[in-house]
C-alpha cells in the first residue's frame, strides 16, 4: 500500500487498480458512486475504504451477530458502543470488551500486542470507566515452528510493556499452541473498568455548534490502512506490511487516561471516542452516526508529527493514543486546561453540524463531503454463501478400536502435564503486573481471576475461554462449549455470570466453509447463552485469519464477567488440607473426540467434541455456586483439557504453596484412557471437609446433579486407583517446567 | 500522622499507597503533584511505584529533576522520612538520596511474583515494628530491580547496617531462585546513613489486607507510624 501514501489524484483519475488496492470491489465502488451521486475523489475513496472494511463495518458478520441474545436484567449497554456495560449494584457498573489485534501482532509482535492492549484500554475509559483489570487470550503455532518463540516472546513482552506501564493489572488469560496458528497468531485483549452508573459516557456527537477536540499523541503516517490490512488474508508478502503496524506509547496513554477521567467529572463533555482503527475518520463519522448529526473537520488544525502530510493521510492515520471529544460550545478552554495539566496536546479540529454530512477541509478547500449514513448505516452488508466443508464428516470419524490404550498411564499423564497447552503458564504471566491497583484476590493460574470492588463487599470473576479444536470438529457444539466453559470457570470461583464479550476469530468470510463455521458457532453460542442466561454485551469479529488459503481453526474466544456477592467466600482450584474429601460434581462419559490426549499422545485431531446437556451444565454450575455461597467448598476446579487426571493433578500442584497429594478411585466403567483423559463436559472437582458431605449431597440432589466421592486429599503421592501412582513432587516439577524448558 | 504521596506523570501505585494508608491504617494522606513545590508539615513522603515520565531513558532518571523532588531532597536532608517503593526506590538512587543503582533484571524480563524478604535491621523508623530475621511475604513487579553498588559502597552498607531487606526463600535462606532480579547480595531494600530515607523494590501497599493474600506490608507502614509517635524521645542510631 506504500505507493498510495503520497499520491493525491484528481477525482476522475481513479483507476480500477486504485479502487481494487483499497480493498473495494467493483460493486462496492458502484454503490459509492450511487450514494454520492458522483465519483469520489481519492481522499473520499480512502475514507470509504476504511469505513467499509470488514474490520470497521462488520459487513459479513452483522446479519449473524443479530442472533445473539443481548438483553438481560443487568445489561446497561449492549453491543454497538465502545464497550458493553453491566450493573453490579452499589451505583456501579462494569464496562468490558475484548478485541483482536491478530494481524499486526503477527507482523510486529511487540508493537502489535502492545497497541492491542492500548486500544482496548481506550475503549473502556472512553466510557467513563477506570480500567482495573485486563486479560488476554493468545494462540500461537506449534512451538516447533521456527517463528513461534519469537512471536511468543514479542507478544508477551508487548502486552507486559504496555499494560504494566499504564498501571492496569493483567489478571488472567489463556495461551494455546496449535499448528493451525503457525502463520496466523491470535492476540485477543480484554479489559474491564468500573464506572459510576450515572457517569457513563458514549461515543456520540450531539448539539450543532459543539466543538470536536482532538487530544493525545500527534498524528503521524503510521498505521495508514491498518483496518484494511486486518480485512485481508496474508500472503507471502505479509512481512512488507510492517509499516501498517502502529507504535505504542504507554506513557502518553496513561496521561490520556488520567486526563480523560478528570475531564469526565465536568459537565461540558458531550461525547468521547478513541481514534482506533481508521483513526479520525471512523471516530468522527461513528459519533455523528450515533448522534444523528454531521461533522465538519479542519484537517489543518490536527496536531501532526510529520511534515507534508496530506488530507488522505491525516484522515486515515492510525497513530495511537488519540481521543476525539465533543465539548459543549464555550467550554473549550476549560477542557484544554486539563490537558495542559497533563502535558497533552489538545486542539479544536472541527465542530458538530446538523447537516448529517461528513465534511473535511484542508487549507480552506473542502476535500471530503460524504453523507454520514453512506459511511455507517448504508455500508454494505452481505449474506455470504455458507457451505458445510466436504471433509466435515470425515474429520468427525473416530474409530477408537484403532486407538491403543497406553500401557503406562502414569507416563501418559506426565506427557500431558508437560505439553505446552496443559503445563503452567507462569513464564507468561509473571511478565505481567497482576497486583497493581491492589484489587487482585485470585491472580493468574486459577479457573478465573477474582478482583475486589473497592468500597464494597463484592468481587468480580473474570475469564477468557475457547477451545478451537472442538469448534473445528463441530462448530455448533464448539460454540455451545465455549460459552459453557467460561460460565463453569466463573462458577468454580463463586461468580454468577453477568454478561460476556466475544472475540470471533475466523478465516476469510469469502470462503463458504468459513462462513458455515461462523454461522454454526453463532447458533451454538446463542443456544448456550440462552440456556445459561448470559447476555452478550460487546464483541469483535476478526476475519481473514488465513494464509495462502489455509484458515485457522474457527476460534471464538469468550470473555465472561461474573459477580461474587460475598468476596470473602471466593474459592481457588487447588487443594487446601490433608483429609479433605475430593468430590466430583457431574458425570464421566466415555468421550475422547477432540481431546488434548488424542492430539498429544496419538497425534489425532478427530472425532466429535464432548456431548453436552445444557440443563445439566446449568445445574452443575448452580450446585457449585450454592455450595460456595454456603461456605463449604475448600477448592473447585473445572475439568477441561486433559480430562479428570490432569484436573486432579492441577488441584495438587498448581497452588502457590506446597503441593498436596491425593488418593482417589475411579471405578471401571469405560476405557482406561477415557476415564483419565476424556474431556466430558459439566464436571467440577470440589474438595470439602468430610463433615460437609451430607450438606453438599443435599444441594446436588435438589439441583439434580450426580455426585461421586472420588477420594481424599493428602500424602505425597498422586494415586488414581488402580491406574496411576506417582510422586506428587515429580508431577509438580513436570507441570511447572513444561512450557519454560521449551523456551530456553 | 500526615503522609504525602507524590504523583508523577506515569505513577501507577499512588492510589494503592493512598488506600492502604487511609482505608487500612486510618492515616491522613495527601497527594503531591510533581509540578508543585513541597508545602506543608508532612511526617513522611512516599515516592510510589510506576513509570515516572514513562521511564524511557532510565528508571527514575527524569523524576529527580521535577519541582517536587527539589522539596523532597531538602525534606530528606532536614531529617524528614522518605519512603521510595519500586520506581520510588529508583528515583531515590538517581537523586543521590540512596547509594547504589537499580539496573535491568539479570534475566532481562519484567518479573511479577510473590517473594519472601528477611528483615535484616529493626533499628530504623521503617522496620522498628518488626523482629530481626522476621520473614515478610510481599509482591515484586519490576523490570529494573537488580540492585548494584560498587564494592566500597557495599562494604559501607554492610558496616553501617543499611541493608534492611534481603530476598530469601520461605525458610529464610538466601538463594539464587529466591532472588527475583539478580540483585547484588540479595538486596531488596536499603536506607541512607541517616536512616531517614528508605527504598525497597517490593510493594508493601499491595500486601496490606488478608483478602489480597498478605498483610505483611503493614509492617513497614506501622513501623513508620510507630517511629513518628516516638520521634521526640528517640534518636535512631546510625
Whether residue B134 is predicted with pLDDT greater than 70 in this model: the reply is: yes
Contacts of A342 in chain B (CB under 8 A): 9
For CA atoms A198, A203, A206, A211, give the dihedral sign.
positive
pLDDT band at A221 (very low <50, low <70, confident <90, very high): confident
Angle between helices A26-36 and A42-51 (to 10 degrees): 110
Residue B86 known to be catalytic: yes
Residue from A133, A156, A435 to probe the interface with B (highest B Cβ count within 10 Å): A435
- Helix/strand/coil for A122: helix
Contacts of A437 in chain B (CB under 8 A): 15-16
Q: Do B111 and A567 touch (CB under 8 A)?
A: no
Q: Do A438 and B50 touch (CB under 8 A)?
A: no
The verdict on A255 touching B (C-beta cutoff 8 Å) is: yes
Tell which residue, B197, B179, B202, B185, has the closest CA to residue B87.
Answer: B202
CA distances from residue A499 to A75, A97, A590, A684 in whole angstroms, order as listed: 8, 10, 32, 21
Contacts of A164 in chain B (CB under 8 A): 12, 51, 110, 112, 141, 143
Residue A284 CB neighbour total at 10 angstroms: 29
The verdict on B216 touching A (C-beta cutoff 8 Å) is: no
Query: How many residue contacts between A and B have a Cβ separation below 8 Å?
Result: 87
CA angle B130, B189, B114 (to 5 degrees): 80
Residue from B206, B209, B217 to probe the interface with A (highest A Cβ count within 10 Å): B206
Pick the residue with more confidence: A8 or A210? A210
pLDDT band at A3 (very low <50, low <70, confident <90, very high): very low
pLDDT band at A241 (very low <50, low <70, confident <90, very high): low
Residue A8's pLDDT is what? 47
Q: Do B211 and A452 touch (CB under 8 A)?
A: yes
What's the grid cell of residue A86? 453491566
- Helix/strand/coil for B136: strand
Q: Do B141 and A164 touch (CB under 8 A)?
A: yes
The verdict on B137 touching A (C-beta cutoff 8 Å) is: no
d(CA A41, CA A36): 11
Parse chain B into domains and list their residue ranges. Answer: 2-230
The verdict on B113 touching A (C-beta cutoff 8 Å) is: yes
Q: Of the residues A22, A55, A434, A570, which is catalytic?
A: A55
Asked whether A588 and A683 are in contact (CB, 8 A), the reply is: yes
Q: Do A435 and B206 touch (CB under 8 A)?
A: yes
d(CA A201, CA A158): 29
Q: Do B141 and A568 touch (CB under 8 A)?
A: no
How many Cα neighbours within 13 Å face the side chain of A278?
23
The verdict on B10 touching A (C-beta cutoff 8 Å) is: yes
Contacts of B13 in chain A (CB under 8 A): 167, 436
As a whole number, mean pLDDT of residues A21-48 equals 94
Contacts of B208 in chain A (CB under 8 A): 438
d(CA B47, CA B4): 9
Nearest chain A residue to B209, by CA: A438
Asked whether B83 and B191 are in contact (CB, 8 A), the reply is: no
Q: What single DSSP character describes residue A437? A: T
Paired strand residues for A18: none
Q: Does the predicted model carry a pTM greater than 0.90?
A: yes
The bridge status of strand A130-140 relative to strand A186-196 is antiparallel
Residue B135 CB neighbour total at 10 angstroms: 16
Q: Of the residues A64, A101, A496, A570, which is catalytic?
A: A101
d(CA A589, CA A611): 9
The verdict on A425 touching B (C-beta cutoff 8 Å) is: no
Nearest chain B residue to A164, by CA: B50
Asked whether A609 and A641 are in contact (CB, 8 A), the reply is: no
The bridge status of strand A170-177 relative to strand A130-140 is parallel
The number of residues in chain A equals 744
**Residue carrying C-alpha cell 456477592:** A565
Contacts of A452 in chain B (CB under 8 A): 211
Asked whether B182 and B106 are in contact (CB, 8 A), the reply is: yes
SS3 assignment for A273-284: EECCCCHHHHHH
d(CA A512, CA A522): 15
Residue B176 CB neighbour total at 10 angstroms: 8
Look over chain B and give the mean of its residue pLDDT values, rounded to a whole number.
Answer: 94
Paired strand residues for B81: B44
Whether residue A104 is predicted with pLDDT greater than 70 in this model: the reply is: yes
Asked whether B226 and B128 are in contact (CB, 8 A), the reply is: yes
Paired strand residues for B146: B103
Tell which residue, A461, A528, A526, A450, has the closest CA to residue A498.
Answer: A461
Q: Do A166 and B141 touch (CB under 8 A)?
A: no
Whether residue B232 is predicted with pLDDT greater than 90 in this model: the reply is: no
d(CA A222, CA A228): 13
Q: Of the residues B44, B86, B93, B191, which is catalytic?
A: B86
Look over chain A and give the mean of its residue pLDDT values, rounded to a whole number.
Answer: 94
Asked whether B6 and B46 are in contact (CB, 8 A), the reply is: yes
Tell which residue, B130, B141, B153, has the closest CA to residue B217.
Answer: B130
The verdict on A568 touching B (C-beta cutoff 8 Å) is: yes
Tell which residue, A284, A264, A287, has the closest CA to residue A80.
Answer: A287
Q: Do A440 and B54 touch (CB under 8 A)?
A: no
Residue A243's pLDDT is what? 59
Contacts of B49 in chain A (CB under 8 A): 436
Q: Do B212 and A656 touch (CB under 8 A)?
A: no
d(CA A504, CA A481): 14
Measured between alpha carbons, how far apart are the two ends of chain A, in Å? Answer: 38
Q: Do A438 and B16 touch (CB under 8 A)?
A: yes
Residue A61 CB neighbour total at 10 angstroms: 25
Which positions 167-186 of B are in contact with A (Cβ < 8 Å)? none
As a whole number, mean pLDDT of residues A615-623 equals 98
Contacts of B109 in chain A (CB under 8 A): 157, 430-431
The number of residues in chain B equals 238
Topology given in CATH for the domain delimited by B2-230: Rossmann fold (3.40.50)
Nearest chain A residue to B86, by CA: A436
Q: Which residues contact A408 (CB under 8 A, 6 or more apart)?
A: none
SS3 content of chain B, % helix, strand, coil (to 5): 30, 25, 45
Whether residue A398 is predicted with pLDDT greater than 90 in this model: the reply is: yes
Among left, alpha and beta (phi > 0; psi -120 to 50; other), residue A209 is: left
Q: What is the CA radius of gyration of chain A?
A: 26
CA distances from residue A462 to A9, A192, A452, B110 in whole angstroms, order as listed: 50, 9, 11, 24
What's the grid cell of residue A371? 453523507
Residue from A149, A154, A425, A433 to probe the interface with B (highest B Cβ count within 10 Å): A433
d(CA A666, CA A721): 6
Supply the DSSP string of B199-234, one letter for each residue. Answer: EESS-GGGSSBGGGTB-TTHHHHHHHHHHHHHTTT-
Among left, alpha and beta (phi > 0; psi -120 to 50; other), residue A99 is: beta
CA distances from residue A373 to A38, A53, A63, A292, A492 in whole angstroms, order as listed: 16, 15, 18, 9, 46
- Helix/strand/coil for A142: coil
SS3 content of chain A, % helix, strand, coil (to 5): 40, 25, 35
Counting residues of chain A whose pLDDT is more than 90, the rounded percentage is 90
Nearest chain B residue to A441, by CA: B212
Residue A229's pLDDT is what? 65
Measured between alpha carbons, how far apart are the two ends of chain B, in Å? Answer: 24
d(CA A681, CA A617): 8
pLDDT band at B231 (very low <50, low <70, confident <90, very high): low
Supply the DSSP string of A492-530, one letter for each residue. Answer: HHT-EEEEEEEEEE-S-TTSHHHHHHHHHHHHHHHHHHH
Nearest chain B residue to A154, by CA: B109
Contacts of A430 in chain B (CB under 8 A): 109, 111-113
The verdict on B36 touching A (C-beta cutoff 8 Å) is: no
The verdict on A150 touching B (C-beta cutoff 8 Å) is: no
Q: Do B112 and A440 touch (CB under 8 A)?
A: no
Q: Do A249 and B54 touch (CB under 8 A)?
A: yes
Tell which residue, B168, B161, B164, has the closest CA to residue B140.
Answer: B168
* Residue A708 exposed, middle or buried by CB count within 10 Å (0-12, 13-18, 19+): middle
Residue A526's pLDDT is what? 98
Residue B173 CB neighbour total at 10 angstroms: 11
The bridge status of strand B187-191 relative to strand B197-200 is antiparallel
d(CA B70, CA B59): 18
Residue from A157, A428, A436, A442 to probe the interface with B (highest B Cβ count within 10 Å): A436
Residues A334-358: tens digit of each pLDDT? 999 999 999 998 999 999 999 999 9
Mean pLDDT lowest among A240-249, A261-270, B11-20, B83-92: A240-249
Whether residue B131 is predicted with pLDDT greater than 90 in this model: the reply is: yes
CA distances from residue A329 to A203, A275, A302 in whole angstroms, order as listed: 17, 22, 19
Contacts of B55 in chain A (CB under 8 A): 165, 251
Q: Do A251 and B56 touch (CB under 8 A)?
A: yes
Residues A418-473: tens digit of each pLDDT? 999 999 999 999 999 999 999 999 999 999 999 999 999 999 999 999 999 999 99
Q: Do A435 and B51 touch (CB under 8 A)?
A: no
Q: Which residues contact B130 (CB under 8 A, 6 or more apart)?
A: B119, B122, B136, B219, B223
Asked whether A120 and A503 are in contact (CB, 8 A), the reply is: no
Whether residue A237 is predicted with pLDDT greater than 90 in this model: the reply is: no
Residues A125-140: tens digit of each pLDDT? 999 999 999 999 999 9
Distance of CA A590 to the CA centre of its chain: 32
d(CA A193, CA A132): 5
Q: Which residues contact A120 (CB under 8 A, 6 or more apart)?
A: A97, A98, A99, A134, A189, A190, A191
Nearest chain B residue to A249, by CA: B54
Considering only the beta carbons, identify the residue of B15, B51, B113 that sits closest to A430. Answer: B113
Which positions 91-110 of B are in contact with A (Cβ < 8 Å)? 109-110
Residue A101 known to be catalytic: yes
- Beta-strand ranges (E) seen in A258-321 are 269-274, 294-298
Q: Do A433 and B110 touch (CB under 8 A)?
A: yes
- Helix/strand/coil for B25: coil
Q: Do B51 and A432 touch (CB under 8 A)?
A: no
Q: Do A568 and B211 touch (CB under 8 A)?
A: yes
pLDDT band at A1 (very low <50, low <70, confident <90, very high): very low
Residue A103 phi, psi dihedral angles, 5° rounding: -60, -50
Amino acid at each position: 500500500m506504500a505507493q498510495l501514501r503520497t499520491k493525491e489524484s484528481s477525482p476522475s483519475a481513479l483507476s480500477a487498480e486504485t479502487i481494487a488496492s483499497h480493498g473495494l470491489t467493483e460493486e462496492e465502488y458502484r454503490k459509492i458512486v450511487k450514494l454520492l451521486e458522483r465519483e469520489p475523489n481519492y481522499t473520499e475513496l480512502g475514507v470509504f475504504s476504511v469505513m467499509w472494511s470488514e474490520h470497521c463495518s462488520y459487513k459479513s458478520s452483522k446479519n449473524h451477530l443479530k442472533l445473539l441474545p443481548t438483553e438481560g436484567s443487568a445489561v446497561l449497554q449492549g453491543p454497538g458502543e465502545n464497550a458493553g456495560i453491566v450493573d453490579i449494584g452499589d451505583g456501579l457498573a462494569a464496562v468490558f470488551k475484548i478485541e483482536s489485534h491478530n494481524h499486526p501482532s503477527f507482523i510486529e509482535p511487540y508493537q502489535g500486542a502492545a497497541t492491542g492492549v492500548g486500544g482496548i484500554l481506550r475503549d473502556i475509559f472512553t466510557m467513563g470507566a477506570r480500567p482495573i483489570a485486563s486479560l488476554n487470550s493468545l494462540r500461537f503455532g506449534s512451538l516447533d515452528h521456527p517463528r513461534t518463540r519469537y512471536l511468543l516472546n514479542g507478544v508477551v513482552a508487548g502486552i507486559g510493556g504496555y499494560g504494566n506501564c499504564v498501571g492496569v493489572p493483567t489478571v488472567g488469560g489463556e495461551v494455546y499452541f496449535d499448528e493451525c496458528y503457525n502463520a496466523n497468531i491470535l492476540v485477543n485483549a480484554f479489559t474491564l473498568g468500573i464506572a459510576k452508573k450515572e457517569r457513563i459516557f458514549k461515543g456520540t456527537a450531539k448539539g450543532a455548534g459543539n466543538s470536536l477536540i482532538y487530544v493525545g499523541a500527534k498524528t503521524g503516517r503510521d498505521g495508514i490502512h491498518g483496518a484494511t490490512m486486518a480485512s485481508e488474508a496474508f500472503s507471502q508478502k505479509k512481512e512488507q506490511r510492517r509499516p501498517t503496524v502502529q507504535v505504542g506509547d504507554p506513557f502518553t496513554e496513561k496521561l490520556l487516561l488520567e486526563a480523560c477521567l478528570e475531564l469526565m467529572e465536568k459537565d461540558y463533555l458531550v461525547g468521547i471516542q478513541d481514534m482506533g482503527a481508521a483513526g479520525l475518520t471512523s471516530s468522527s463519522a461513528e459519533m455523528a452516526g450515533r448522534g444523528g448529526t454531521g461533522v465538519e473537520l479542519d484537517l489543518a488544525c490536527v496536531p501532526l508529527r510529520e511534515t507534508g502530510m496530506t488530507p488522505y493521510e491525516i484522515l486515515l492515520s492510525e497513530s495511537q493514543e488519540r481521543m476525539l471529544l465533543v465539548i459543549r460550545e464555550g467550554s473549550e478552554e476549560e477542557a484544554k486546561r486539563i490537558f495542559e495539566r497533563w502535558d497533552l496536546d489538545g486542539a479544536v479540529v472541527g465542530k458538530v453540524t446538523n447537516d448529517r454530512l461528513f465534511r473535511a477541509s484542508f487549507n480552506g478547500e473542502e476535500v471530503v463531503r460524504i453523507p454520514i449514513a453512506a459511511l455507517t448505516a448504508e455500508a454494505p452488508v452481505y449474506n455470504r454463501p455458507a457451505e458445510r466443508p466436504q471433509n466435515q464428516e470425515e474429520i468427525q470419524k473416530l474409530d477408537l478400536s484403532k486407538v491403543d490404550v497406553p500401557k503406562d498411564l502414569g507416563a501418559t499423564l506426565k506427557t500431558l502435564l508437560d505439553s505446552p497447552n496443559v503445563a503452567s503458564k507462569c513464564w507468561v504471566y509473571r511478565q505481567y503486573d497482576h497486583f497493581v491497583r491492589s484489587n487482585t484476590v485470585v491472580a493468574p493460574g486459577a479457573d478465573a481471576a477474582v478482583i475486589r470492588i473497592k468500597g464494597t463487599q463484592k468481587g468480580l470473576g473474570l475469564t477468557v475461554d475457547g477451545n478451537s479444536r472442538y469448534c473445528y470438529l463441530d462448530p455448533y457444539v464448539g460454540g455451545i462449549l465455549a460459552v459453557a466453559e467460561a460460565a463453569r470457570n466463573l462458577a468454580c470461583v463463586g461468580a454468577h455470570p453477568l454478561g460476556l464479550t466475544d472475540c470471533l476469530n475466523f478465516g476469510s468470510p469469502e470462503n463458504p466453509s468459513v462462513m458455515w463455521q461462523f454461522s454454526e458457532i453463532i447458533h451454538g453460542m446463542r443456544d448456550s447463552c440462552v440456556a445459561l442466561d448470559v447476555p452478550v454485551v460487546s464483541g469483535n469479529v476478526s476475519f481473514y485469519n488465513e494464509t495462502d488459503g489455509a484458515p485457522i481453526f474457527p476460534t471464538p474466544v469468550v470473555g465472561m464477567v461474573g459477580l461474587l456477592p460475598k468476596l470473602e467466600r471466593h474459592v481457588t482450584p487447588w487443594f487446601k488440607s490433608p483429609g479433605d474429601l475430593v468430590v466430583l460434581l457431574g458425570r464421566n462419559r466415555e468421550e475422547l473426540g477432540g481431546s488434548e490426549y488424542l492430539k498429544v499422545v496419538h497425534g489425532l485431531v478427530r472425532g466429535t467434541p464432548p456431548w453436552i446437556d445444557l440443563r445439566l451444565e446449568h445445574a452443575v454450575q448452580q450446585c457449585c455456586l450454592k455450595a460456595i455461597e454456603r461456605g463449604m467448598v475448600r477448592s473447585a476446579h473445572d475439568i477441561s483439557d486433559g480430562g479428570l487426571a490432569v484436573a486432579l493433578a492441577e488441584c495438587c500442584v498448581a497452588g502457590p504453596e506446597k503441593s498436596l497429594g491425593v488418593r482417589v478411585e475411579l471405578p471401571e466403567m469405560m476405557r482406561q484412557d477415557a476415564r483419565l483423559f476424556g474431556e466430558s463436559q459439566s464436571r467440577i472437582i470440589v474438595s470439602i471437609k468430610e463433615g460437609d458431605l451430607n450438606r453438599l449431597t443435599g444441594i446436588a440432589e435438589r439441583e439434580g446433579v450426580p455426585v461421586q466421592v472420588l477420594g481424599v486429599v493428602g500424602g505425597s503421592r498422586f494415586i488414581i486407583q488402580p491406574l496411576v501412582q506417582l510422586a506428587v513432587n515429580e508431577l509438580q516439577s513436570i507441570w511447572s517446567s513444561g512450557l519454560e524448558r521449551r523456551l530456553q | 500522622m500526615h503522609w504525602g504521596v507524590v504523583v508523577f506523570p506515569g505513577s501507577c501505585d499512588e492510589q494503592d499507597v493512598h488506600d492502604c494508608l487511609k482505608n487500612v491504617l486510618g492515616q491522613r494522606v495527601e497527594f503531591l503533584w510533581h509540578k508543585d513545590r513541597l508545602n506543608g508539615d508532612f511526617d513522611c513522603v512516599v515516592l510510589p511505584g510506576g513509570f515516572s515520565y514513562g521511564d524511557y531513558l532510565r528508571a527514575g532518571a527524569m523524576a529527580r529533576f521535577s519541582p517536587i523532588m527539589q522539596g523532597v531532597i531538602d525534606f530528606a536532608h532536614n531529617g524528614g522520612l522518605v519512603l521510595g517503593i519500586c520506581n520510588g526506590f529508583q528515583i531515590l538512587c538517581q537523586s543521590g538520596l540512596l547509594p547504589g543503582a537499580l539496573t535491568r533484571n539479570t534475566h532481562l524480563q519484567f518479573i511479577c511474583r510473590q517473594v519472601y524478604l528477611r528483615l535484616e535491621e529493626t533499628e530504623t523508623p521503617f522496620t522498628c515494628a518488626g523482629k530481626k530475621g522476621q520473614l515478610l511475604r510481599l509482591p515484586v513487579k519490576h523490570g529494573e530491580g537488580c540492585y548494584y553498588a560498587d564494592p566500597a559502597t557495599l562494604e559501607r552498607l554492610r558496616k553501617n547496617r543499611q541493608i534492611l531487606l534481603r530476598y530469601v526463600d520461605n525458610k529464610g535462606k538466601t538463594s539464587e531462585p529466591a532472588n527475583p532480579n539478580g540483585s547484588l547480595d540479595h538486596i531488596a531494600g536499603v536506607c541512607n546513613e541517616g536512616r531517614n530515607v528508605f527504598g525497597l523494590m517490593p510493594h508493601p501497599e499491595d500486601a496490606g489486607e488478608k483478602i489480597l493474600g498478605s498483610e505483611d506490608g503493614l509492617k513497614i507502614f506501622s513501623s513508620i507510624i510507630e517511629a513518628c509517635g516516638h520521634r521526640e524521645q528517640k534518636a535512631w542510631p546510625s
